Amino acid sequence: MSPRLPRSAARPAATPLTGTARRIIRLNYGFQLLFNLLWWMPVFYAYQKDAGLSDGQIFGIQSIYYVAFCLFEIPTGLIADRIGTRNCLRAGAVVMTAANLAPVVSSSYSGFLVHFLAIAAGRSLTSGAASAYLYDGLRAERCEEHYLKAEGTARALGLAAKILCWPLVGPLMVLVHPAPYLLSALSAAGSLICVIALPRTATQARGTASSGRAGKPRAPRGGRGTSLGDAKAALRCVVSSPWLALVMVQGVAVFTLSRICQVNLFQPILLDHGIGESAHGGVLAAMTVAEAVGSARPQWLGRRLTPVAWVSVLSLVLAGTLAGITLGGPWTTVALLCVFAAAAGFAYPIQRKLVNDAVPAGAPRATLLSVESIVDRAVCALAAVAVGAYLSAGHLDALLWHSALATAVLLGAFQLVVRSMRTRRGAEGDAAERPDSEAAEEPDARTDAGAPAPVQARPREPYASHSTTRAGK
């Protein structure tokens, strides 16, 4: 019996980054940081109140924003798969730049409505395209092992930029009142420069990396087929790939809980526990630090659980912290909010990689990522309506408990379906016909570390997302 090798020796080292892959990652960092650096975020409510808008008008615009985002996600994913993700990112940066200038041109209800509608359009243009470009670009360079770390680090850098910039918004606003919107427009323009500098080779590689099921590459840009064809292909993928649908459903809990808590419930929770508005900025900064650390180091979670199990565990942590907030005082509340943010930071890059790994070869990746975004935001829009009803009735604690219970029930049902799927697969006894992403989740489906398969045919093993990033530290 041969001696057992140390774990570090048993794992293969991460594939070194090529020059093109390194350039893709660095420019993606710049794009994600600048595109999402919305200087006006901490003050947009007060800014609109100063402009004469009522609470009904302000929150009415937010409701329209959620609905518009869902509607825009339908065509923008199709556009990305048709014109190329790089061109779609460029269009999104242009729209975002113009959107941030709208309140400067017209500081009125119509101006802010146009602003948020354009924000929805710009963000929907990039929500799936950015991840698809990074994933396909690294895979074309045979450096896909670095995707998880690149996705998480990009998010962490964006959060770190907010920590540094948001405290400056108040003083700058005193000097130049529309400064938050002008700086946001300038940041969006900087993201456009990053997109223009992205290498074209990664976009061209999508045609071969996203080859058809029978191994036939997609036609050049002019012959890809209609957008309706891409939409039908995306729907067929979701219907024919139960694992992809399940992974998308699992992500709903993470997105909805984090979005509702960090945007809609953040101030009501603090005020309910006697934490004044003067301290809200500091609490938000602390939460952002916690989320940034989690996003930058998802590999800290280790390999004891599979990635899909980690997302479920982290979702339960999010739900548990919301329930715990109802039982604690001010300091406990702040600590639990930081734990909440850290759990969300860990979950986002892992969930994003799970979805990308579950997309079948030849499928319109950006369209499918837009489908996921539509589902997330549709549930979030419904949750926002429920939040308004609970808060209007003064039942904040009940809302937090009910959110935790609903999350636990959803994830319990999810795990039962996953277990049932694996049992059925085991009974069939034909591992060769399993979808790559499903096989990757099975503990007994690990490939031999000493004999990696070609990039196109290799199962997407979620375990590798942790081991490779560790080896590359």
Question: Which CATH number goes with the domain that contains 149?
Answer: 1.20.1250.20
Identify whether residues 94 and 177 lie together within a single domain.
Answer: yes
**pLDDT score recorded for residue 101:** 94
Give the end of a domain, one of 203, 223, 244.
203
8-state DSSP, 18: P
d(CA 460, CA 391): 44
Q: Is residue 398 part of a domain?
A: yes
**Three-state SS for 302?**
coil
Q: Is residue 448 part of a domain?
A: no
Q: Taking the CA of residue 334 as centre, how many other CA atoms within 13 Å lie in the half-sphere pointing to its CB?
A: 15
> Which amino acid, 368?
L
**pLDDT score recorded for residue 77:** 62
Total structural domains in the chain? Answer: 2
Identify whether residues 182 and 260 lie together within a single domain.
Answer: no
Identify whether residues 372 and 241 lie together within a single domain.
Answer: yes
In this prediction, the residues of the chain whose per-residue pLDDT falls under 70 are 1-14, 55, 74, 76-78, 80-81, 201-234, 277-281, 366, 425-473
8-state DSSP, 305: S
pTM, to two decimals: 0.60
Q: Give DSSP secondary structure letters for 402-436.
A: HHHHHHHHHHHHHHHHHHHHHHHHHHHT-GGGS-H
d(CA 367, CA 378): 16
Identify whether residues 131 and 248 lie together within a single domain.
Answer: no
Sequence-ordered list of residues with C-beta below 8 angstroms from that of 322, at least 6 positions apart, any chain: 257, 261, 340, 400, 401, 403, 404
Identify whether residues 283 and 138 lie together within a single domain.
Answer: no
d(CA 129, CA 139): 15
Identify whether residues 259 and 386 lie together within a single domain.
Answer: yes
**pLDDT score recorded for residue 389:** 76
**pLDDT score recorded for residue 299:** 72
d(CA 419, CA 401): 27
Q: Taking the CA of residue 39 as centre, how many other CA atoms within 13 Å lie in the half-sphere pointing to its CB?
A: 23
Name the residue among 360, 257, 352, 359 with its Cα closest to residue 310: 352
Q: Are 290 and 341 in contact (CB under 8 A)?
A: yes
The whole domain housing 249 covers 234-427+436-443
Identify whether residues 43 and 173 lie together within a single domain.
Answer: yes
Q: Which residues of 142-171 are buried (b: 16+ CB within 10 A; e: fewer)?
A: ebbbbbbbbbbbbbbbbbbbbbebbeebee
Identify whether residues 276 and 184 lie together within a single domain.
Answer: no
d(CA 87, CA 192): 11
Identify whether residues 94 and 158 lie together within a single domain.
Answer: yes
Sequence-ordered list of residues with C-beta below 8 angstroms from that of 55, at least 6 positions apart, any chain: none
d(CA 412, CA 404): 12
Q: Is residue 418 part of a domain?
A: yes
8-state DSSP, 262: I
**pLDDT score recorded for residue 330:** 87
d(CA 127, CA 89): 9
Give the end of a domain, one of 203, 224, 244.
203
Q: Give DSSP secondary structure letters for 40-75.
A: TTTTHHHHHHHTT--HHHHHHHHHHHHHHHHHHHHH
Looking up tokens 């479920």 gives 312
Q: Is residue 30 part of a domain?
A: yes
Identify whether residues 185 and 285 lie together within a single domain.
Answer: no
Q: What is the CA radius of gyration of the chain?
A: 22
